[in-house]
Amino acid sequence: MAAVRATAGSDDPGLALHPARLARNLVEYQQRTGRWNDLLAAHEAAARAAHRHGDRLGEAVAQHGIARANAFLGDADAAATAGLRAAELYRDAGLPVAEADARRSVAVAYSRANRLPEALEHARRLVDLYERHGEPSDRAQGLNTLGYTLVQLGRASEALDPLTLALDLQRGTGDNHGAAFTLDSLGLACARLGRPDEAAEHYRRSLELFERAGDRYGQVYPLCGLGDVVAALGDRSGARELYERALRINREVDGDALTTDLQERLRHLGPP
């Protein structure tokens, strides 16, 4: 963060291209540890520097980071604005896979804000871009985004095919971290379809892969989903343990956007 601030505030042309690249290098660590406010601050500084120096690609990278952070912090409008700006800049630069990546951030933001028709529109567009220009791992990410959005729309049966294909692609390329996200989506799909045993297995496998990857923030999702399955089967004690574990991790990694959801689940269970 200190390096991003220092280069972002410099008028030295030799440093003009550095802030966005430095901020981008922080992304994986900050995402896996859930440090979304740090991620946002780094990319906002980088975006200002890139705009000041006329670095359009650097601005695209920075706006993309702003979109990611705001999506997970729950500010859908800010995420969509930044993501669409990044997509435009990437498109102008002739980078269709990067454009699809930016649209994925927009789709995630709209999904989290329950603006599901808009999320589905962007999910379909990014899948098309990945299909035409991306690698198998890119295609898998797009298919997972599409499948998850379909589940959210109440179309879980329709979601199974893209999610299964995504998981096959991820297993074929050894993308275990990507597979963790897809397994979480499959868990949700199976839960919505009334298949709790399959849902629980997908969630447990997702959790295991997130733990292996060191992705603390990612672990919150399968813990929450597994808690839902256990609660639906009548095991309130088991569900409480899972929700409380998810809440502890969420607080550790600055995951404010999920705190209210987890607290509501715990309240719904009633007193211990």
pLDDT for 71 equals: 83
Distance of alpha carbon 239 from alpha carbon 218, whole angstroms: 18
Q: Band of the pLDDT at 253, cuts 50, 70, 90? A: confident
pLDDT in tens, 83-134: 999 999 999 999 999 999 999 999 998 998 899 999 999 999 999 999 999 9
- Residue pair 216/200 in contact by the 8 Å Cβ criterion: no
Q: Which residue has the higher pLDDT, 123 or 68?
A: 123
Give φ, ψ of 68 to 5 degrees: -60, -50
- Predicted pLDDT at 257: 63
23 against 253, higher pLDDT: 253
pLDDT of 36 higher than 80: no
- Render pLDDT for 175-216 as a digit per residue (tens, 0 to 9): 999 999 999 999 999 999 999 999 999 999 999 999 999 998
Q: Residue ranges of the domains in the chain?
A: 1-113
pLDDT at 231: 97
Contact 107, 122 (CB under 8 A): yes
pTM for the structure as a whole: 0.85
Mark residue 41 as left, alpha or beta (left: phi above 0; alpha: psi -120 to 50; beta: remaining): alpha
Question: Mean pLDDT, the chain, as a whole number?
Answer: 87
Burial 91-104, CB ≥16 within 10 A → b, else e: beeebbbbbbbbbb
pLDDT at 264 over 50: yes
pLDDT given for residue 262 in this prediction: 92
Domain 1-113 listed as CATH 1.25.40: yes
- Going by pLDDT thresholds of 50, 70 and 90, the confidence category of residue 53 is confident
pLDDT band of residue 14 (cuts 50, 70, 90) is very low
